[in-house]
Structure 1
Amino acid sequence: MHNGRLFTIVGGIFGLIGLVLLCVGIALAASTASFLGSAERTDGTVVSLIARTTTTRGSDGHARSGTSYYPTVEFAVGGRRYTFVSSTGGNPPSHKEGESVPVAYDPDDPSDARIASFGSAFLAPLIVGGLGAVFTPIGAVLFVKGRRIARLRAWLREQGRPVWAEIEHVGRDFTVRVTNRHPYVVHATWQDERTGRTYTATSDHLRDDPGPRLRGQTRVRVLYDAADPSRNLVDLDARPSLP
């Protein structure tokens, strides 16, 4: 059984980030809707596209660059011309030079303007809110799973049936990565006296190699649920009593 603490921590972080993103997305959407509700409308023209390149570093350590194109829009109010750069860009560009676009502007300050199409106005709130809608349930599921594992571990320590299981394998678990490393695990097997079935218990993921502290030891203590032996816990701190 794996330690539920990791699930709880990761779930809490994901859930918190998700809630923050949801709140930010809702606030952005409300602010945009409020602006559009009081803004005046006119037509503008895309006069140029500004290329902005951003560089990110992936989990593999490699840098990746991406370029987005932001339209510069020109429009006229009361015989005076105004220009603004849209806060929404894309690749491929969502607009092209010379294209006519709807513009919403603040009648008290026409320099405060934006493209009035739904995609341009609400793209940022949709992206931020969408990420929040994804992160929040993932975080909730991981958090609940972590708490259930923690409760099961506590129950097994208090009421689990003990057995000394034979160590079958000590080594790295190459199926997962923790902090970019394959953790160590201990596998141990035992036979249920009532059913004769053989069960395997897997320890928590371990940062350090447990081999040195288990040197000369052929068995480890396992606590399991008698009604369901697959629910078990490897207790690496226990030592077999000397004969």
Structure 2
Amino acid sequence: MRNGRVFTIVGGIFGLVGLVLLGAGIAVAASTASFLASAQRTDGTVVELTARTSTTRSSGGHTRTSTNWYPTVKFTVDGRSYSFQSSTGSNPPAYERGESVPVAYDPDDPSDARIASFWAAYLVPVIVGGLGLVFTPLGTVLFVKGRRTARLRAWLRRQGRQVWAKIEHVGPDLSTQVNNRHPYIIRATWQDEGTGRTYTAVSDPLTYDPGPRLSGQTHVRVLYDPADPDRNLVDLDALPSPS
């Protein structure tokens, strides 16, 4: 059984980040809607496309470079020219040089302007709010799972049935990576005397190799729910702490 504390912490972080992103998306969308409601409209011309390149690094150490193109728009109000660069970029470019675009501007300060199309105005809040809508329920699910796991672990330690299960595997968990490394696990099995069915218990992920610390042990203590032996816990409390 995995440690519920990890799910609780990760779920709490994801949920908090999701709520912040969701709130930010709503706030930006409301501000944009308020601006557009009071703005004046005119037509502008795309006079330049500026490339911005960003580089990100994946957890595997690989770098990825992406380039977005940001249009600069020029327009005229009362015979005076103004220009602004859109805060929204894309790849491929959403506009071409010389293309006419709708412009919304503050009548008291025409230099405060933006492209008046829906996506140009609302793309940022849609993306930010969308991430919030993904992160918030995901974090909630992980948090709830973590709390349930923690309660089950506490119940198993108080009332779980004990069995000494045979150690079948001690080594890296090749199905999982943490910081580009496979954590270590202990996998043990035992046979239910009543049904003859074999059950498997897997320890929490370990940052160290527990093999040398098992001191030649062939069995490890497992606590399980008699009504559902698949709900079990490898008890590592007896193992010496890593130096």
Q: Which amino acid is 2:22 matched to?
A: L
CA distance in 1, matches of 2:220, 2:198: 15
Give the C-alpha shift of residue 168 in structure 1.
Answer: 1.3
Q: Which residue of 2 aligns with 1:115?
A: 115
In structure 2, what is the equivalent of residue 201 of structure 1? 201
State the alpha-carbon separation in 1 of the partners of residues 225 and 64 from structure 2.
Answer: 49
CA drift of 1:88 comes to: 0.6
Change (3 A) 1:214 1:191: same
CA distance in structure 2 between the partners assigned to 1:216 and 1:68 by the alignment:
59
Amino acid at match of 1:68: N
Scaled by the length of structure 1, what TM-score is found?
0.96
Q: Percent of aligned positions with the same letter in both sequences? A: 75
Map 1:13-32 onto structure 2 (within 5 A).
13-32=13-32
- Local SS of the residue matching 2:133: helix
Alpha-carbon distance in 2 for matches of 1:25, 1:45? 29
Contact 2:60 2:180 (8 Å CA) reproduced: no
Unaligned runs of 5+ in 1: none
- For residue 38 of structure 1, what is the amino acid of its counterpart? S
Deviation at 1:236, TM superposition (A): 2.1
Structure 2 match to 1:160: 160
Give the secondary structure class of the aligned counterpart of 1:96: coil
Instruction: Look up the match of 1:98.
Output: 98
State whether structure 2 residue 216 is matched by structure 1 residue 225.
no
Q: Structure 1 residue 185: deviation in Å? A: 0.7
What corresponds to 1:10 in structure 2?
10
Q: Which residue of 2 aligns with 1:143?
A: 143
2:147 is paired with a residue whose SS is helix
| Structure-2 residue corresponding to 1:174 | 174
Deviation at 1:63, TM superposition (A): 2.2
Work out the CA distance in 1 between the residues paired with 2:10 and 2:146: 9
Instruction: Please show how residues 43-54 of structure 1 align to structure 2 within 5 Å.
Output: 43-54=43-54
* Cα distance in structure 1, aligned partners of 2:64 and 2:188: 44
Q: Deviation string for 1:172-208 (max 9, x for gaps)?
A: 1100112221011111111112212111111111110
- Unmatched runs of 5 consecutive residues or more in structure 2: none
8 Å CA contact retained: 1:220, 1:238: no
The aligned length equals 239
Does structure 1 conserve the Cα–Cα contact (< 8 Å) formed by 2:59 and 2:179? no
Q: Deviations over 1:24-80 (max 9, x none)?
A: 100100010000011001111111111111111121222221111111101110011
Q: Which residue of 1 aligns with 2:235?
A: 235
- What does 1:27-42 align with in structure 2 at a 5 Å threshold? 27-42=27-42
Deviates more, 1:104-113 or 1:58-67: 58-67
CA–CA separation in structure 1 for the residues paired with 2:57 and 2:206: 28
SS of 1:176's partner is coil
Cα RMSD between the aligned structures?
A: 1.0
Partner of 1:215: 215
Q: TM-score, normalised by structure 2?
A: 0.96
**Residue aligned with 1:87, SS:** coil
Counterpart-to-counterpart distance in 2, 1:171 and 1:35: 59
* Whole-Å separation in 1 of the counterparts to 2:202 and 2:38: 62
For 1:50 and 1:189, locate their aligned partners in 2 and report how far apart those are by CA, in whole Å: 62
The letter for the 2-side match of 1:77 is V
1:19, CA displacement in angstroms?
A: 0.7
Q: What amino acid sits opposite 1:201 in the alignment?
A: A
Please give the alpha-carbon distance, in whole angstroms, between the structure 2 residues aligned to 1:230 and 1:19.
35
Separation (CA, whole Å) in 2 of partners of 1:128 and 1:138? 15
Question: 2: distance between equivalents of 1:189 and 1:237?
Answer: 18
